[in-house]
Chain A
């Protein structure tokens, strides 16, 4: 995996966001090279979700610049935002599958309406993606008939069908029953192995330690620490990240 080689595929610089009197992001900057995986950690309220949602402008930043694959996004232009979002896939904590559509139609509707692909081609593509996440046999089930892990896998398939250049994952396993976390993690790991560029907020130690090219520790709307896991998590390192991850490990220890 290349770190910092060539031009970054995503550059978000100096992103600020304030809701009322509450400043959530104080000029945060993130860069991603192609194939790179960065992981956001930190306690809730630190601004991880807001940062991710600012990157694809689901929350429009107050200021800052976003550039995807060399194209600067004009965040005041709706057209630019729609184009940005087509190139940046997003996975949510609570899946956000369309409740009135079957697994396969959740995928085809975006292909047909946004990418204007024919129904036939869209169906074929959707079927492929569902098989990739191991849900080839669940195509015609509705979200209400799927387990949490299955829903998240459909959501991943849906995002991937759009051929995104980058994937944003906002705590993809946090809403899942512990027994279902594994199936989602293995799908994400497979994506990483295929070289998907990702930025992910997660508290899942197995993802942090095995996937991260870089860890970004966020607190009060700032990135307060960043570095590779091998450095930040090294024994004897007094980093905040290490302390945070230790407490995550302790939790797992207690539960297990």
Chain B
């Protein structure tokens, strides 16, 4: 069965778009988790100054719309002589925004670790840094993983905002076709299916990670 020119063009564009989406999502998700863990640790254990910096970062990036953040990064930073390509600008914005949310999940998990775990490590001669790095964070990651996974799934969907900085991904490609053919409903329903697939794949990967990290006593695998 031959597809109509509309669908042929639609799928060619969306496939191209989905590749760009994945290229945005994967580094943003990984970067977001890393920033989230670092910021979460700093906000929980840092000295007064670094903690204030961490809290400030989280307040700004959780408190302002992502659209605004992307605008500032792409259109504002050139005023300071920093020029980012649309792709780099989008990934930077996603990472920072996602990291701010992730840091909150990580912070909650860190605070939930019982004081006995610190005492046990300190009594063996662990330094404060070693205690946090080897004992507290590995446990907190297991507690935070469900929240962090949720944030990644959310990131998959807000990655569509990349079009704001002219980085054309799944939604951007679809919108072009929709405008061209004036067939919005069909196009956006197909886009919806694409996102559903992306999220399903992400959930399968997250499940696998949960399984790998599973330890008895930290919820079921």
Contact = CB atoms under 8 A, between A and B. Distances in A.
Interface of A: 56, 58, 78, 82-83, 85-86, 89-90, 92, 94-100, 109-110, 113-114, 142-145, 155, 158-159, 162
Interface of B: 116-117, 119-127, 130, 134-135, 138-139, 142, 215-218
20 contacts: A82-B126, A85-B123, A86-B124, A89-B123, A90-B123, A92-B119, A96-B120, A97-B120, A98-B121, A99-B215, A100-B215, A109-B135, A110-B125, A110-B126, A113-B126, A114-B124, A114-B126, A142-B215, A145-B217, A162-B124
Contact of A162 (B117, B120, B125): B125
Contacts of B124: 85-86, 89, 110, 114, 158-159, 162
Contacts, number: 75
Nearest to B128: A78
Contacts of B134: 109, 113
B116 A92 contact: yes
Given A100-B139, A100-B142, A142-B216, A82 B120 contact: no
A201 B139 CA distance: 30
A158 B218 CA distance: 22
Contact of A86 (B116, B125, B218): B125
Secondary structure type dominating chain B contacts: helix
Contact of B122 (A85, A98, A143): A85
A98 B120 contact: yes
Contacts of A94: 116
Contacts of A113: 126, 130, 134
Contacts of B127: 78, 82
A142 B213 CA distance: 13
Q: Which one of A96, A100, A109, A155 has the greatest number of beta carbons of chain B within 10 Å?
A: A100
A144 B216 contact: yes
Given A58-B119, A94-B116, A95-B120, 8 more contacts: A78-B127, A85-B124, A89-B124, A96-B117, A98-B139, A100-B135, A100-B138, A110-B124
B109 to A, nearest CB: 12
A58 B126 contact: no
B217 A143 contact: yes
